[in-house]
Structure 1
Amino acid sequence: MPASPRRATLATVAASAGVSVATVSKVLNGRGDVSPVTRSRVESLLEQHDYVALPQRRRGDAAVLDTIEVELDDDLNAYSTEIIQGAVRAGAEVDAAIVVSIRTDADRAGAWARGLATAGRRALVAVTSELTAEQLTALSRVRLPLVVIDPLNLPQTRGVTSVGSTNFAGGLAATQHLLALGHRRIAYLGGPATAACNQARLHGYRAAMEAAGAAVLPGYVRAGHFHYQDGVTGGAVLFDLPEAPTAIFAGCDDIAFGVLEAARARGLRVPEDLSIVGFDDTQVARMASPPLTTVRQPLREMGGVAVRTALRLAAGERVDSHHVELATELVVRGSTAPAPPEGSPRPPLTRHAVG
């Protein structure tokens, strides 16, 4: 994040408004003995200066804990639930409170950042968020440390601290597993094209395919979102290609579950006709039918590392690295099998209703 400017004080606002510090304090506390004109001027300057009235922290007050905001940019899913569990567990270990929210007003960057600081948050952990320069600047102005888990974009500002996994190695391992099973027509169905984690997984896939001399056929790489429905619709498009893939590497488990459903709707058997590999290893992966072969991200550990790093930043400590990557691991289950013999007929593609 950019160098943090000095936090605005009551004296700063009072000097700008041409009134006393006591008058500014009265406005903040909703006192009635301030003229409407003065009140309006002071309130406007409080907003311009990004003034934040922090809660008082009293020694020995058990109710006042370090509070970390874990903010999602989408509804809860299996991935974010794992992250939150790790964050909550880490918070309990260091006597910090974890507040989970879904971002709703980040378009108003200044008000969003001031709201977090005014609520007494010591730091923000953003999960799979796409951050703008305005949002980063707003957080810096209120001196609120930020840690991002699996950022969807690569902020140009230096110093943004992030936590992720070895996405390239995971993409490489997933594709090498399918190649070792004899597959050559392997497609990649991923998330947003600009997402850093998706780019790394895609690069791992391409590196494995190139090393094996396996061509990436036209239409075999598709970008979308990390959502179940993208697996359903993307899988259907892949099955309609002139040379349909015999294996699909999905950029996350939710996409893989969508591909499973698309295969079921077409009468394709997994893994006899189609092998599928996911990425995440959420709890649902073990309960899928068949159980999903996937690349395990240490999601709970990522949540814990993010919280501990955020607290260190809030305490004014320096961190050794602005980006931490935890190791991934391929977990082989029942959704992958040797490729069907070349030229063997697939069952007819019957179309059923897809839920």
Structure 2
Amino acid sequence: MPPKVRRATLATVAASAGVSVTTVSKVVNGRSDVGPETRALVESLLEQHAYIGRRSPAAKGSPATARIELMFNGELNAYSTEIIQGVLEAGGDAGVAVVVSVRPRAAAGTDPSRPRGWARDLATAGRRAVIAVVDELTSADIAALTRAHLPLVVIDPLNLQRDRVTSVGSTNFAGGLAAAQHLLSLGHRRIGYVGGATRSACNQARLHGYRAALEAAGVTVPDEYQRTGDFRYRDGVAGGAALLDLPAPPTAIFAGSDETAAGVIEAARARGLRVPDDLSVVGFDDTEVARLSSPPLTTVRQPLREMGGVALRTALRLAAGERLDSHHVELATELVVRGSTASV
């Protein structure tokens, strides 16, 4: 069996040409600020090394554009829109095209060769890296991308695999802590939580922050005050209904996303309860949902656009063969107080 040929990286080409990775990246992206002799040398080496991101012969003379795959699972929502905006803005600044895709979840018993084919198709199409958003990537998916020499960056990873996956998130624990402390400062002691999947790392961090604040204040958190879901509107409606129908319902609810918070507000409305007069509600994300909610939603701002920008720039660094100081980056959250919370 012939030995496997490793795909060249920008670093490989740069070393062969005796120039920087940045210079090679400029040539690949069709930038004009490279001398003609250097450009000719780099383009020749890109051809020799069969670098997958180079321009095809038919495209010579026209600007080349690197492409990054931005992949989601399932339905897009306000959270997704903020991420897309951040990635697109950063891509525009870097001269990189962003291809947005929605990958259907694999069914049980799916052919194990499917991840290999998926990764191979991305590489063949000229993608230089993949950004996955809140995605349940399997070990087979990660291995397939590695074999295809496609760097991966995950935003809000379901499970942190620091030694294998580069990821970008926010200070979810601090955000959950701030949300609960705000409600406590308003005099609330019966505070419920409606969040995401129990296996989700960001959900666990928000839940733990909420619990830490209440426990520090000497407030007991009943098990029935904690509801899980999928960060969707329907989960807020169902979880909010379950909490508000308890014999001793909470006077305030912290929701794990703005969309979930909107569902909680609807559950309250359906029961003749007014927000914030009868029930205070805090969300998480600070998407357009929070600003358009009635009343405007108090929420924990997660810097989603900035997270998208960091993910894009990180993906490009990995594609260029650069080493990172950390495999996980967290951006700061901030409590934004609006009209959905009030004193008891």
- For normalisation by structure 1, the TM-score amounts to 0.79
1:331 paired with 2:336, answer yes
- Report if the CA contact (8 A) 1:228-1:256 is conserved: yes
- 2:172 maps to a residue whose letter is N
**Match in the other structure for 2:310:** 305
Q: How far is 1:283 from its partner?
A: 1.4
- 1:77 maps to a residue whose letter is N
**Match in the other structure for 1:117:** 123
**Match in the other structure for 2:141:** 135
Query: Residues 105, 130 of structure 1: CA spacing in aligned structure 2 closer, same or farther, 3 A cutoff?
Result: closer
**d(CA) in 2 for partners of 1:319, 1:8:** 20
1:197 paired with 2:196, answer no
Q: How far is 1:152 from its partner?
A: 1.4
- Report if the CA contact (8 A) 1:234-1:259 is conserved: yes
- Report if the CA contact (8 A) 1:147-1:163 is conserved: yes
**d(CA) in 1 for partners of 2:184, 2:246:** 20
**Match in the other structure for 1:289:** 294
**Match in the other structure for 2:43:** none
Superimposed CA distance per residue, residues 1-25 of structure 1 (whole angstroms, 9 cap, x where no aligned partner): xxxx85389xxxxxxxxxxxxxxxx
**Match in the other structure for 2:6:** 7
- Report if the CA contact (8 A) 1:7-1:142 is conserved: no
Superimposed CA distance per residue, residues 27-47 of structure 1 (whole angstroms, 9 cap, x where no aligned partner): xxxxxxxxxxxxxxxxxxxxx
**d(CA) in 2 for partners of 1:58, 1:100:** 23
1:172 paired with 2:177, answer yes
- Report if the CA contact (8 A) 1:164-1:302 is conserved: yes
- 2:144 maps to a residue whose letter is A
Q: Percent identity?
A: 67
**Match in the other structure for 1:218:** 223
Q: What is the aligned counterpart of 1:268 among 248, 253, 273?
A: 273
Query: Residues 261, 132 of structure 1: CA spacing in aligned structure 2 closer, same or farther, 3 A cutoff?
Result: same
Q: Report the number of matched residues.
A: 292
**Match in the other structure for 1:187:** 192
**d(CA) in 2 for partners of 1:204, 1:6:** 48
Q: What is the aligned counterpart of 1:242 among 247, 251, 260?
A: 247
1:147 aligns to what SS in structure 2? strand
**Match in the other structure for 2:74:** 74
Q: What is the aligned counterpart of 1:259 among 242, 256, 264?
A: 264
**d(CA) in 2 for partners of 1:94, 1:80:** 21
Pairing 1:128-167 to 2, within 5 Å after superposition:
128-155=134-161, 158-167=163-172
The answer for unaligned runs of 5 or more in structure 1 is: 10-51, 340-355
Superimposed CA distance per residue, residues 41-86 of structure 1 (whole angstroms, 9 cap, x where no aligned partner): xxxxxxxxxxx99465259553531100100012221001000000
- For normalisation by structure 2, the TM-score amounts to 0.81
Query: Residues 296, 241 of structure 1: CA spacing in aligned structure 2 closer, same or farther, 3 A cutoff?
Result: same
**Match in the other structure for 1:33:** none
- Report if the CA contact (8 A) 2:191-2:251 is conserved: yes
**d(CA) in 1 for partners of 2:141, 2:75:** 20
**Match in the other structure for 2:64:** 64
RMSD: 1.9
**d(CA) in 1 for partners of 2:341, 2:157:** 29
Q: How far is 1:191 from its partner?
A: 0.3
**d(CA) in 1 for partners of 2:277, 2:74:** 35
**d(CA) in 2 for partners of 1:312, 1:202:** 33
- Report if the CA contact (8 A) 2:300-2:334 is conserved: yes
Superimposed CA distance per residue, residues 88-117 of structure 1 (whole angstroms, 9 cap, x where no aligned partner): 000000100011000137552111111111
- Report if the CA contact (8 A) 1:55-1:118 is conserved: no
**d(CA) in 1 for partners of 2:265, 2:105:** 35
**d(CA) in 2 for partners of 1:301, 1:218:** 35
Q: Give runs of ≥4 in structure 1 deviating > 3 Å.
A: 5-9, 52-56, 58-63
**d(CA) in 2 for partners of 1:178, 1:234:** 19
- Report if the CA contact (8 A) 2:7-2:51 is conserved: no
**d(CA) in 2 for partners of 1:77, 1:70:** 15
Query: Residues 184, 82 of structure 1: CA spacing in aligned structure 2 closer, same or farther, 3 A cutoff?
Result: same
